[in-house]
Amino acid sequence: MSKPDFQAMSQKDLRAYMLAHQDDQEAFYAYVDRLYAEANWVEMPPLQSIDDLKNYPELVERVRRRSDWR
């Protein structure tokens, strides 16, 4: 059985494949490489408490918008 072309897959499809085939290290590394290449994360200092989220409304909104990506 041949491996799928991870480069041609969308990030969502690659994530689904990786979760369905958790023992496939090649898929995992392809997914992590894709995340790193797209660099669409938000960097912020570590939270000291849940109340610190009030200081990052754009992060909270972004998480809410992406809650359907699973």
* Total structural domains within the chain: 1
Give a yes or no: residue 37 inside a domain. Answer: yes
**pLDDT tens-digit readout, 14-60:** 999 999 999 999 999 999 999 888 877 767 788 888 888 888 888 78
What pLDDT score was predicted for residue 36? 87
pLDDT band at 69; cut points 50, 70, 90: low
Q: Tell me, yes or no, whether 2 lies in a domain.
A: no
- In 3D space, the residue among 40, 25, 17, 70 whose CA is nearest the CA of residue 8 turns out to be 17
* Type of residue found at 55: N
Domain of residue 40 covers 11-68
Asked, for residue 5, whether it belongs to a domain, the answer is no
